[in-house]
Amino acid sequence: MTGRNELVVRLGRAAALSLVAGTVGGAAILAGQAIVARSRQYAQPELGLALRATVGRAGAPPLRLVLLGDSSALGVGVERFEETIGGQLAHLLAEGPAGRRVQLSSVGVSGSRSTDLATQVARALLGERPDVAVILIGANDATALARPTDAAAYLASAVRRLREAHVEVVVGTCPDLGAVRAVASPLRQLLAWSGRRVARAQTSAVLDAGGTVVDLAVETGPVFRADAGTLCHDGYHPSADGYRVWAHALLPAVEAAATVASRHH
C-alpha cells in the first residue's frame, strides 16, 4: 500500500475534500481524523527481505514470476520471505498440481502509484523475460483521490508493454480500503469509495489491454473487514494472514497464466 509519509500526505488531501464531507463540520471531522492518522506508526519495508528467490524442487517445470506495484509487492507488514505475497504465491505454485520451480523477483516500490509502473516494467524486462507478471497497484491512487481513469490508463499502458513482450499479466486491483483500521469513519468510508472507483476503472482498462483481473476488494474485502488479524500492527498493511488471503485469491489466475506461458516455451 504505502509508507507512513506518503499515507499522511494522501490522508491530508482526503481530509481537505470538504465537498465530499458536505458540510464545514464534516470537513473538520475528516481533518481531525487525518491528524490522528499522522501519529500512527506505519510498517516500513524490511530491507532484509529477499526480492529474488527460487522455490520448488530441482528439475520441476520452471516459471519466472515477477511482482510489480506498491508495498504489497514487497510484503510490507511482514518480516519473513515466506509471509510475503510473493513468497506465498511461489510456495503455492511449487506445491500445486504442476509442481513448478518458481524463480521469483519483485520490482515493486513502496508508495508507488500507477504513474510509477513504467519504470518498474522497464526493470522487470531487464535480463531474462518473465513468464508471468503480477501487478498489485491502486491503493495509493485511491488515497490520493487520483482520477480513476488516469490511474487506469497508466496501468493499461504497463499491461500492454508486458503483453507485447509476451509476458502473461495478472492484476490485483485496489483492495478494500474500507477494511483498514488505521483510519476512522467517515474518512475510512471516503477512502473505500475512492478505492472502488479506482478498481472499477482498473478492471475495464486491464481487460482491454489483454491482462487478467482479480478484484481483491470483492474477493477478499469481506474477510479483511471481519478479521482484524488480516492486517499487521499498523492496521493498514496486510499481515502474513492477509497476504495469504490475497495469494489464494490470485492463485487461480496466476496458475492459468503460467499454463499459457508454458505453451510458449
Give the tens place of pLDDT for each residue, 156-189: 999 999 999 999 999 999 999 999 998 888 889 9
> In this structure, is residue 208 part of a structural domain?
yes
| pLDDT score, position 1 | 55
CATH of the domain at 255: 3.40.50.1110
Residue 32 resides in a domain? no
Provide the whole-model pTM. Answer: 0.86
User: Residue 80: which domain range?
Assistant: 52-263
**pLDDT number for residue 214:** 98
**Please, what is the average pLDDT of the chain?**
87
- Write down the pLDDT at residue 263: 84
**Are 131 and 65 contacting, i.e. CB atoms less than 8 angstroms apart?**
yes
In a domain, 141, yes or no: yes
Whether residue 35 is contained in a domain is answered as no
Domain assignment present for residue 206? The answer is: yes
pLDDT digits (tens, 9 = 90+) for 25-69: 444 444 444 444 444 555 666 655 557 899 999 999 999 999 999
The domain total for the chain is 1
What integer pLDDT is reported at residue 187 of this predicted model? 87
Strands across the sheet with 132-136, in order?
Answer: 52-55, 101-106, 62-69, 132-136, 168-172, 212-214
pLDDT(234) > 80: yes
19 in a domain, yes or no?
no
The residues assigned a catalytic role are 71, 234, 237
Percent of residues, the chain, with pLDDT higher than 70: 81
Asked whether the predicted pLDDT for residue 16 surpasses 60, the reply is no
Q: Could you tell me how many residues make up the chain?
A: 265
In a domain, 248, yes or no: yes
